[in-house]
Amino acid sequence: MPTRDPEQLLAETELLYQLTAACNEIAELAPIHELALTAVTRGTHCDRAAILLFDADRVMRFVASRGLSATYRAAVEGHSPWTANASAPQSVLVADTEADPAWAAYREAFRAEGVRSLAFVPLVHHGVLLGKFMLYREEPRAFSAAEIRLAQAISTHVAQSVVRVQREEELARLYRFEREAHHLAEEATRAREEILSVVSHDLRNPLGTILIGSSTLADSADPRVAAVGARIQRQAVRMARLIEDLVDFAGIEAGRLAITRAPQAPASMIETTRELFRQQANERGLQLEASAVSPLPVVDCDAERVVQIFGNLVGNALKVTPRGGSIEIGAQPENDDVVFFVRDTGPGIAPDELPSLFQRHWRSKHAHYKGAGLGLSIARGIVEAHGGRIWAESQLGRGSTFFFSLTSTRN
């Protein structure tokens, strides 16, 4: 295999980055297929490549190819080294088509096309075979383990994209029926939740791989590779947070948000939050303080969810508070409740916007940062699942304070 220099590594990394973004954003498969073919031919040093998918009759058909003649495609279309119901198909590697007797039936087609070595890489999603990736070389040469790993990683992205697009098309169909007939709304909601659950599950594994790989790239001695790695890592972290927010939001909307209650000390949850955001506050030049009236009664709540509420509120405060400002988190007793708060010295919120803060997807017209507009809505859903309430007080130019109440165990 030729030596992979920094320029080549950088080019492959950029291609994988583009492919990852395309697989999660582009609504059509054709551009994803083209990016995948470019990435795999460059990364595995192949002359040609192709993607085939099962059609409705479970026959493998070419959907994209690079450098293959129409005659060759017609001669081999429909062939698969695995059965259609194979549950764990493995890649099939052919180092020399002339020497391998298993491929005698296709030898003339290989000769006419100038193919001497090839690889079959399965496209699999949740154990279901969707199609295959084909890699071709003009000379007899075995594929390395690294090349096949790269091809398998790319095939995973393609398989997930195929399923995602198929399910999005199905969801779109259900939405059309929802507009035409109101009684289909419940079914459309169920399908949306199922798709979100499956897609979020599918994304977590590749995101984990991307985070690990981008961390390695970010530590590279080559500043160009390190810069690309850091950029990928930032986007992957943002995607992971968005996935978690979407899953929580779907649970809240369906009334199925998981809450595990237990007696919890308010001071412990406040300190956990402060530790989580201490470094980020320091990097932004902000003072992050914790204060709580002592003693505070124990509250019956899900500690992780309460820290999540704090996280959404503190995260917003970090974004709006200018350098040199401060953020205070704390709690105080109030009748039978404990009222938690996050106070910032940011620009404040206009009075006419306060009633809309906790609505889903709502964003202030004055917001200067990006976001999905779900954080405050999720916070409200978690608080209400605990039987509490959440509200905000603010003055323009003097900062804002967000409050939420939880019931103490002494009731």
Q: Tell whether 231 is covered by a domain.
A: no
In terms of domains, do 272 and 374 share one? Answer: yes
In terms of domains, do 123 and 24 share one? Answer: yes
Q: What pLDDT is recorded for position 194?
A: 61
Closest by Cα among 313, 297, 316 to 305: 313
Domain final residue pick, 180, 203, 222: 180
Closest by Cα among 400, 402, 404 to 326: 400
Q: Tell whether 244 is covered by a domain.
A: no
In terms of domains, do 19 and 149 share one? Answer: yes
CA 148 to chain centre: 24
CA distances from 235 to 20, 230, 314, 374, 388 (A): 11, 9, 20, 18, 34
In terms of domains, do 174 and 268 share one? Answer: no
3-class DSSP assignment, residue 286: coil
Q: Determine the residue type at 132.
A: K
Residue 20: which CATH number? 3.30.450.40
Cross-strand bridge partners of residue 400 = 344, 394
In terms of domains, do 164 and 270 share one? Answer: no
The pair phi, psi for residue 96, each rounded to 5°, is: -155, 110
3-class DSSP assignment, residue 391: strand
Q: What pLDDT is recorded for position 286?
A: 95
- Within 77-144, where are the H helices? 107-113
- Within 219-326, where are the H helices? 223-253, 266-283, 303-320
In terms of domains, do 272 and 175 share one? Answer: no
Instruction: Say what the alpha-carbon torsion angle 178, 182, 185, 186 is, to the nearest 10 degrees.
Output: -150
Q: Tell whether 331 is covered by a domain.
A: yes
Q: Quote the number of domains for the chain.
A: 2
Q: Tell whether 213 is covered by a domain.
A: no
In terms of domains, do 34 and 157 share one? Answer: yes
Q: Please answer whether residues 249 and 358 qualify as being in contact, where contact means their C-beta atoms are separated by less than 8 angstroms.
A: no
Residue 275: which CATH number? 3.30.565.10
Q: Tell whether 192 is covered by a domain.
A: no
Mean pLDDT for back-to-back runs of 10 residues, the chain (411 residues): 61 69 72 87 89 92 95 94 90 94 93 95 91 94 89 87 82 73 58 59 66 79 82 73 69 73 93 90 93 86 92 91 95 91 93 84 57 76 92 92 88 57
Q: Tell whether 188 is covered by a domain.
A: no
Q: Given the structure tokens 């040469």, which residue do they identify?
A: 141
Which structure tokens are listed for 255? Answer: 């009334």
In terms of domains, do 11 and 125 share one? Answer: yes
Q: Tell whether 236 is covered by a domain.
A: no
In angstroms, the CA 342 to CA 361 distance is 21
Q: What pLDDT is recorded for position 1?
A: 45
Q: Tell whether 340 is covered by a domain.
A: yes
In terms of domains, do 34 and 141 share one? Answer: yes
Range of the domain at 13: 6-180
Domain final residue pick, 180, 215, 233: 180
Q: What pLDDT is recorded for position 90?
A: 93
Domain final residue pick, 161, 180, 199: 180
In terms of domains, do 12 and 150 share one? Answer: yes
Q: What pLDDT is recorded for position 53?
A: 94
In terms of domains, do 388 and 271 share one? Answer: yes
